[in-house]
């Protein structure tokens, strides 16, 4: 069945029975392919019928379809001609998120949540202004992403317009983890309402055994208007904004979903379709997993769902261990997460101190300002977040935390090049941004001991924001210092007097050691060093640089305005006229590939850096 689908138009000729067969085949394909490559399995298993109905009712790309976050777009990719998942999330293969380079059916590439409704509002208004009244804009957003404030800013605008927008709320009660807060309670109340049960009964009576769905029309749907009457517009959460509402609809009943979407399309103005789905639907290991382990997986055994290669002890585990120990010593420590309790390492702390963990939902801006409030009230908040997602709360860090000299610690997981998830997930912006924040102190530990030390030191700062960044990877062997000069750790020396000094920032310290060894093999006298606290500029910098002719910096953040440039400017202002060579990430969006491949591509592997230095030295 799947091989017959070259475009969404091919779906419209299928019977109800054929569509059910196609749905099962898609699920089998997803389990088989994603188990080989890794990827977002659970979210895609849950939207099979919804995506089929979506492409039968709407005419993509004439009608614009926007996926919030985008990790649930695998089925969409299969139905729009991308059936080869053998290199999913690998260089040259299909992206794990929508990609304009892949297909005209993909619109939004950014994999940050809660943005789809704003995109839809803009696209729909553009169509209206151009007189394109036959085009509908569709946004698919999860209940988890609705916890983000940006989504409600968009709803506020959409409630006051007449543009053709259909908002599909894909409600599975989860984001990365179970959805929390007042929104979750309200949606749960809708799910258990008698109106929903009546709608389900009407759907079963009306559509059971109909066969082909291609005969569904607006008039067909209106035969159920008595059942729909209690469901369109009675839900205060959306109706109070002035938005029409349809649902809840069983997201795994193709007939019901298609009927609801047909009705919504015919409405011709903003309308919300509330669809209930089960994350991991049809794959027993995912359905039975309460911890959402199948939201995103590595390579697994498809029969059992168990990983082929057990996870190695990583940086996140070190933080999890340290904050748990700190919580036992100090009752003022509070953990804050934006809907990612387990991935950022806060789960053990939450298990031990449930009253001292706050999950704000997908709302990084709120998380940071709330942390400033906690600090004012005498607590020491620890905001654990992926480095790429701190971008979303830069203003709050600047104006609410730093301006008010709030003692807040930020733990930036997945800092630097992450690779497989593509441009929006690389944590490459933080150092260039954060070094401009007055009073902020930034640490980039190189190994387990330095990460533990940095976190403990950060907790002792109560008058400024502290940031500790670390990569997405397993931990390597410790890199002990030969000696320390103030805040600089010397890791390797070759020769009596260094002509070249190589600084490796954070996880690039090991690369600096390798570069130094390669230069020494060419007869150069070299010193390799690093610093745990990289901003403000370490006091021992000038002493370690000494009388060197060339100083090399290697960092997995932006070269432009990065740590290396800050250190070089410091040396220049101090009157040290030494040459500098900066190696980092270029100011561009990087395609998805493995971390190793990207480092090679941008010249950040040890061989490329050493060759560049040798060429510089002549």
Inform me whether the pLDDT recorded for 217 exceeds 80. Answer: no
Inform me whether the pLDDT recorded for 143 exceeds 90. Answer: no
Q: Is 364 flagged in the annotation as binding?
A: yes
pTM for the whole thing?
Answer: 0.86
Separation between Cα atoms, residue 100 and residue 546, nearest integer Å: 50
DSSP bridge pairs for 488:
485, 531
On the CB side of 547, CA atoms within 13 Å amount to 3
Write the CATH number of the domain with boundaries 49-74+96-283.
3.40.50.970
Which pair of structure tokens corresponds to residue 438? Answer: 């007055």
Q: Is 113 flagged in the annotation as binding?
A: yes
The 10 Å Cβ neighbour count of residue 612 is 15
What is the share, in percent, of the chain residues with pLDDT greater than 70? 88
Region 292-320: what's the mean pLDDT? 79
| Opening angle at CA 168, ends 392 and 20, nearest 5 | 125
Inform me whether the pLDDT recorded for 210 exceeds 80. Answer: no
Q: Is 332 flagged in the annotation as binding?
A: no
Query: Look-up: residue for tokens 């390797």?
Result: 492
**Domain 483-617 class?**
alpha beta
Beta strand 526-531 pairing with 488-494? antiparallel
Residues 469-519: pLDDT tens digits? 999 878 989 999 999 999 999 999 999 899 999 999 999 999 999 999 999
Q: Is 71 flagged in the annotation as binding?
A: yes
Q: How confident is the model at residue 227, as a pLDDT?
A: 38
Residue 306's SS3 state is: coil
Q: Which residues contact 519 (CB under 8 A, 6 or more apart)?
A: 494, 500, 502, 526, 610, 613, 614
What is the share, in percent, of the chain residues with pLDDT greater than 90? 69
Residues 385-437: pLDDT tens digits? 999 999 999 999 999 999 999 999 999 999 999 988 888 889 999 999 999 99
Task: Please list the active-site residues.
Answer: 279, 364, 392
Which pair of structure tokens corresponds to residue 442? Answer: 């930034």
Q: What is the chain's alpha carbon radius of gyration, rounded to the nearest angstrom?
A: 27
DSSP bridge pairs for 111:
none
Q: Is 29 flagged in the annotation as binding?
A: no
Residues 17-58: pLDDT tens digits? 999 999 999 999 999 999 888 888 888 999 999 999 999 999
On the CB side of 216, CA atoms within 13 Å amount to 30
Exposed / middle / buried, residue 279 (Cβ in 10 Å: 0-12, 13-18, 19+): buried
pLDDT class for 374, splitting at 50, 70, 90? very high
Q: Which residues contact 354 (CB under 8 A, 6 or more apart)?
A: none
State yes or no: cis peptide before 61, omega within 30 of 0: yes
| Opening angle at CA 115, ends 114 and 118, nearest 5 | 125
Q: How confident is the model at residue 616, as a pLDDT?
A: 93
Q: How confident is the model at residue 279, as a pLDDT?
A: 87
Q: Which residues contact 527 (CB under 8 A, 6 or more apart)?
A: 490, 492, 493, 494, 498, 500, 501, 502, 516, 544, 548
Of 336, 279, 599, which Cα lies nearest the Cα of 471? 599
Q: How confident is the model at residue 291, as a pLDDT?
A: 59
Domain ranges of the chain: 49-74+96-283, 315-469, 483-617
Q: Is 144 flagged in the annotation as binding?
A: yes
pLDDT class for 236, splitting at 50, 70, 90? low
Q: Is 524 flagged in the annotation as binding?
A: no
Separation between Cα atoms, residue 413 and residue 418, nearest integer Å: 10
Q: Given phi > 0 = left and psi -120 to 50 = alpha, else beta, which region is 152? A: alpha
Q: Is 592 flagged in the annotation as binding?
A: no
Question: What does pLDDT average to over the chain?
Answer: 88
Residue 427's SS3 state is: strand
DSSP bridge pairs for 530:
489
Can you list the positions of beta strands (E) in 546-605?
A: 550-558, 579-585
Inform me whether the pLDDT recorded for 104 exceeds 90. Answer: yes
Residues 1-19: pLDDT tens digits? 888 898 999 999 999 899 9
Residues 163-175: pLDDT tens digits? 999 999 999 876 5
Q: How confident is the model at residue 229, as a pLDDT?
A: 39
On the CB side of 377, CA atoms within 13 Å amount to 11
* Fold observed for domain 315-469: Rossmann fold (3.40.50)
Query: Look-up: residue for tokens 């006298």?
Result: 525
Separation between Cα atoms, residue 538 and residue 531, nearest integer Å: 7
Q: How confident is the model at residue 304, as a pLDDT?
A: 77
Inform me whether the pLDDT recorded for 232 exceeds 70. Answer: no
Residues 433-475: pLDDT tens digits? 999 999 999 999 999 999 999 999 999 999 999 999 999 878 9
Inform me whether the pLDDT recorded for 247 exceeds 60. Answer: yes
Q: Given phi > 0 = left and psi -120 to 50 = alpha, else beta, which region is 493? A: beta
């Amino acid at each position: 069945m799947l091989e017959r689908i070259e475009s969404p138009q091919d779906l419209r000729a299928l019977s109800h029975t054929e569509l059910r067969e196609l749905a099962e085949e898609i699920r089998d394909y997803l389990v088989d392919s994603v188990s080989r490559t890794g990827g977002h399995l659970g979210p895609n298993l849950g939207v099979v019928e919804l995506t089929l109905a979506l492409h039968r009712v709407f005419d993509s790309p004439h009608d614009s379809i926007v996926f919030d976050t985008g990790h649930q777009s695998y089925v969409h990719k299969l139905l729009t001609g991308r059936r080869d998942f053998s290199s999913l999330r690998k260089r040259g293969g299909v992206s794990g998120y929508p990609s304009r380079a892949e297909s005209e059916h993909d619109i939004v590439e950014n994999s940050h949540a809660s943005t789809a409704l704003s995109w839809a509002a803009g696209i729909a208004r553009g169509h209206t202004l151009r007189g394109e009244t036959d085009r509908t804009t569709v946004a698919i957003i999860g209940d988890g992403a609705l916890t983000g404030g940006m989504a409600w800013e968009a709803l506020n605008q959409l409630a006051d317009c007449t543009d053709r927008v259909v908002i599909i709320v894909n409600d599975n009660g989860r984001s990365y983890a179970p959805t929390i807060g007042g929104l979750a309670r309200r949606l749960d109340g809708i799910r258990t309402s008698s109106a929903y049960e009546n709608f389900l009964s009407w759907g079963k009576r009306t559509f059971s055994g109909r066969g082909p769905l291609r005969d569904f029309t607006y008039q067909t749907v209106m035969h159920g208007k008595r059942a729909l009457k209690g469901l369109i517009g009675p839900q205060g959460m959306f109706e109070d904004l002035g938005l029409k509402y349809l649902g809840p609809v069983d997201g795994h009943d193709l007939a019901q979903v298609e009927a609801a979407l047909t009705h919504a399309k015919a409405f011709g103005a903003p309308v919300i379709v509330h669809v209930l789905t089960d994350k991991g639907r049809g794959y027993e290991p995912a359905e039975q997993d309460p911890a959402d382990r199948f939201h995103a997986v590595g390579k697994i055994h498809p029969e059992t769902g168990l990983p082929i290669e057990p996870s190695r002890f990583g940086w996140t585990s070190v933080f999890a261990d340290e904050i748990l120990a700190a919580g036992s010593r100090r009752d003022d420590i509070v953990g804050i997460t934006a809907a990612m309790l387990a991935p950022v390492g806060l789960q053990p702390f939450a298990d031990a101190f449930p009253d001292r963990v706050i999950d704000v939902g997908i709302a990084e801006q709120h998380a940071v300002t709330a942390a400033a409030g906690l600090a004012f009230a005498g607590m020491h908040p620890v905001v654990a977040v992926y480095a790429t997602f701190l971008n979303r709360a830069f203003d709050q860090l600047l104006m609410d935390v730093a301006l008010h000299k709030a003692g807040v610690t930020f733990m930036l997981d997945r800092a630097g090049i992450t690779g497989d998830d593509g441009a929006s997930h690389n944590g490459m912006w933080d150092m260039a941004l954060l070094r401009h924040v007055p009073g902020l102190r930034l640490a980039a530990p190189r190994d387990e001991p330095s990460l533990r030390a940095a976190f403990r030191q950060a907790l002792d700062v109560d008058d400024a924001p502290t940031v500790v960044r670390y990569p997405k990877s397993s931990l390597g062997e410790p890199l002990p210092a030969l000696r320390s000069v103030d805040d600089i750790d010397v890791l390797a020396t070759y020769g009596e007097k260094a002509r070249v000094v190589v600084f490796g920032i954070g996880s690039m310290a090991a690369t600096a050691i390798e570069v130094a060894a390669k230069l020494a093999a060419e007869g150069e006298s070299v010193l390799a060093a690093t610093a745990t606290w990289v901003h403000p500029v370490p006091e021992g910098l000038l002493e370690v640089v000494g009388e060197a002719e060339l100083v090399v910096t290697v960092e997995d953040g932006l070269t432009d305005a990065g740590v290396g440039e800050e250190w070089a400017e410091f040396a220049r202002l101090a009157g040290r006229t030494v040459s500098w060579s900066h190696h980092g990430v270029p100011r561009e969006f990087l395609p998805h590939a493995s971390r190793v491949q990207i480092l090679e591509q941008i010249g950040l592997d040890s061989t490329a850096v050493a060759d560049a230095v040798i060429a510089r030295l002549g």
